């Protein structure tokens, strides 16, 4: 990535666990966004050693986190409005409170959590990113975190699995931003097979791809 790009780390649903692999994955970040269900101030303290942290509380957070942190926040990053919420619903059908926020604030990027499933999707000029859960494993869902790179007229999103010895990139998409800070079109770069028995360094993938053309084999691309 160009040296002028802004690197934002995305984390959600840590549920009291700080994965040491985040140290290497988010090293050099300009900012870290946490999309809720932190469940322990120690997690934020560890993340703050890597970069400034902007967090919201989730449905599992209790005082003091639920009192000290907002339920949503809007950040201006790299010329784009970035809305952070916990429970989005679906990009095609946001939950009513979130839909109102999107209509009023018109963000270029919406970061969410709650589902424990990563997501990259562009819809009606907005990039939706769910980094998945970086906390304890839930069912067969892949534990993950994500990166955003803001550079000129493009934003690149990358998702990394946290289940091998080192973070492994499992998906990536790039979007072109309009003058208004929103997006037009997308160029997806699927990095793994949608076959549920596909593996990544011996770690079984339990979730099908959500990027276009997911029939291609995984390619290793790490920053």
122, two tokens: 């562009």
Q: How high is the pLDDT of residue 59?
A: 95
Mean per-residue pLDDT over the chain, rounded: 81
For residue 109, the domain's CATH number is 3.60.21.10
Residues 6+ apart with CB under 8 A from 49: none
Total-model pTM = 0.80
| pLDDT tens profile 113-170 | 999 999 999 888 889 999 999 999 988 899 999 999 998 888 999 999 999 999 999 9
Distance CA 156, CA 1 (A): 9
Cα-Cα end-to-end distance for the chain: 8
CB contact at 8 A, 91 and 128: yes
217 domain residue, yes or no: no
222 domain residue, yes or no: no
78 domain residue, yes or no: yes
Distance CA 205, CA 197 (A): 6
67 domain residue, yes or no: yes
Domain total of the chain: 1
Domain extent for 58: 6-204
- Is the pLDDT confidence value at 194 over 90? no
User: Span 35-39, mean pLDDT?
Assistant: 96
**How wide is the angle at C-alpha 142 spanned by C-alphas 138 and 148, nearest 5°?**
120
157 domain residue, yes or no: yes
**Which residue in 31, 13, 11, 33 sits closest to 22, CA to CA?**
11
24 domain residue, yes or no: yes
Give residue 77's pLDDT band: very low, low, confident or very high (50, 70, 90). very high
216 domain residue, yes or no: no
Distance CA 181, CA 184 (A): 10
**Which residue in 166, 220, 167, 165 sits closest to 192, CA to CA?**
220
212 domain residue, yes or no: no
Distance CA 72, CA 97 (A): 11
């Amino acid at each position: 990535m160009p040296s002028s790009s802004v690197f934002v780390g995305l984390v959600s649903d840590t549920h009291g666990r700080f994965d040491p692999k985040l140290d290497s994955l988010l090293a050099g970040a300009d900012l870290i966004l946490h999309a809720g269900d932190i469940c322990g101030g120690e997690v934020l303290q560890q993340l703050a050693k890597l970069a400034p942290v902007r967090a919201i509380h989730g449905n599992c957070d209790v005082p003091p986190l639920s009192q000290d942190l907002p339920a949503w926040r809007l950040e201006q990053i790299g010329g784009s409005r970035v809305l952070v919420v916990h429970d989005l619903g679906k990009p095609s059908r946001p939950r009513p409170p979130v839909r109102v926020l999107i209509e009023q604030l018109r963000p270029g990027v919406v970061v969410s959590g709650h589902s424990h499933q990563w997501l990259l999707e562009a819809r009606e000029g907005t990039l939706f990113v769910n980094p998945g859960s970086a906390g304890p494993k839930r069912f067969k869902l892949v534990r993950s975190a994500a990166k955003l790179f803001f550079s000129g007229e493009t934003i690149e999103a990358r998702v990394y699995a946290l289940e091998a010895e080192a973070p492994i990139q499992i998906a990536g998409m790039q979007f072109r931003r309009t003058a208004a800070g929103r997006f037009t079109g997308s160029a997806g770069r699927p990095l793994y097979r949608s076959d549920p028995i596909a593996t990544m360094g011996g770690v079984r993938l339990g979730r099908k791809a959500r990027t276009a053309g997911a029939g291609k084999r995984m390619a290793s691309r790490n920053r």
